[in-house]
Amino acid sequence: MDASMTPARSWLFVPATRPDRFAKAAASGADRVILDLEDAVGPAEKADARRNLANAVIPREVPAYVRVNSALTPWFEDDLAVAKAIDIRGILLPKADSAAHVERAAAAIRREHVIVPIIETAIGFWNVLDVARAPRVERLVFGGLDFSLDTGLHDVDGAFDAVRSRIVIASKVAGIGAPVDYVTLAIDDQDLLVRHATRSRHFGFAGKLCIHPKQIRATNDAFRPTREEIEWARAVLDEHATRSDQAVFAHRGELVDRPVLERARQIAAGADGY
């Protein structure tokens, strides 16, 4: 199946300095694997990390991406050269501040590679629709940690609500995949992770970045419809089947019209495993 049609709930980072972990990452249950040349690799290790990637066995079980260093760094071109030479789905592009950054990356990698820009600065957020419409963009990632550093905003009391909403809406307007939300740093706090991932889903995100295999199952589960949602959707669709001649009808005291029916169909379609 085309990777663009498969779930994109959990995106697991693995440092490019640790090729011994690539296969484990692919077997973790994550929907995507990110081979990281950026934050997980110190400046003195960048060259070794690129050599590791060039010589490593790249996972084939799930789509693999390389997070390159940003266009503002001296490592950008060398990272793209390595990405071009290996069998991956595409790249994650940090600090994608403009469509021009995406276009530079697109010109340097294979034509079949996709680009996933990371929106993590004030200027990148300001230009988010232009970035989303740039060539070969598959979807966006919200880099909330760096966004906090750049703007002084923090993800408390709804401070990021407008940011998340605009990223999701820009993605829809551009006709690309739904975006991916940023990491939860607490590895062992499953309740916090579920709250964060559930919030992301409610904002319209397709998935979430993960920094440890322990986060995969809970993240995947959080991006599935709940049992209550599935029960509601199936009941609505069952009743619609008996009222197919009615454009509008009442179900358990609530009005069902075309948007409600389409929502029920979406939920039912995502009810895998139930």
pLDDT at 195 over 90: yes
Tell me the pLDDT band of 59, cut-offs 50, 70 and 90.
very high
Instruction: Supply the pLDDT for residue 1.
Output: 43
Residue 198 has pLDDT above 80, yes or no: yes
Distance from C-alpha of 39 to C-alpha of 205, rounded to nearest angstrom: 23
Annotated domain spans of the chain: 3-222, 227-269
Dihedral angle over CA of 104, 106, 107, 109, nearest 10 = 120
Torsion of CA 198, 222, 200, 15, to 10 degrees: 130
Q: In terms of CATH, what superfamily is 3-222?
A: Phosphoenolpyruvate-binding domains (3.20.20.60)
pLDDT at residue 251 in the model: 86
Q: What is the 3-state secondary structure (H, E, C) of 93-137?
A: ECCCCCHHHHHHHHHHCCCCCEEEEEECCHHHHHCHHHHHCCCCE
Task: Supply the pLDDT for residue 2.
Answer: 57
- pLDDT of residue 268 exceeding 60, the answer is yes
Q: 231 with 267: CB under 8 angstroms?
A: no
Q: Residue 262: which pLDDT band, with cuts at 50, 70 and 90?
A: confident
CA 58, CA 69: separation in Å to the nearest integer? 19
**Amino acid at residue number 6:** T
Tell me the whole-structure pTM to 2 decimals.
0.89
For residue 238 the two structure tokens come to 């069952």
pLDDT of residue 26: 97
If DSSP codes are grouped into helix, strand and coil, which group holds residue 41? coil
Rounded Cα gap, residues 219 and 8, in angstroms: 11
In the block, tokens 């990491």 appear at 183
Residues 6+ apart with CB under 8 A from 98: 123, 124, 127, 130, 131
SS3 185: coil
Predicted local confidence at residue 220, as pLDDT: 96
Specify the pLDDT at position 234: 87
User: What is the structure's pLDDT at 265?
Assistant: 86
Residue closest to 115 by CA, chosen among 97, 127, 132, 98: 132
For residue range 211-243, what is the model confidence (pLDDT) as tens digits?
A: 999 999 999 999 987 788 888 878 888 888 888
Strands (E), 52-186: 64-67, 90-93, 114-119, 141-142, 180-181
Measured on CA atoms in the order 186, 190, 196, 200, is the torsion positive or negative?
Answer: positive
pLDDT score at 235? 85
Which DSSP symbol is given to 255?
Answer: E
CA dist 227 and 207 (Å) reads: 19
Judge whether 68 and 94 are in contact, CB under 8 Å: yes
List the one residue out of 152, 211, 158, 203 whose CA is nearest residue 184.
211
**Rg, C-alpha atoms of the chain:** 20
30 or 255, higher pLDDT: 30
Q: Which residue has the higher pLDDT, 197 or 247?
A: 197
pLDDT (mean) for 121-136: 98
Strand pairing class (207-210; 10-15): parallel
Handedness of CA 213, 214, 217, 218 (dihedral sign): negative
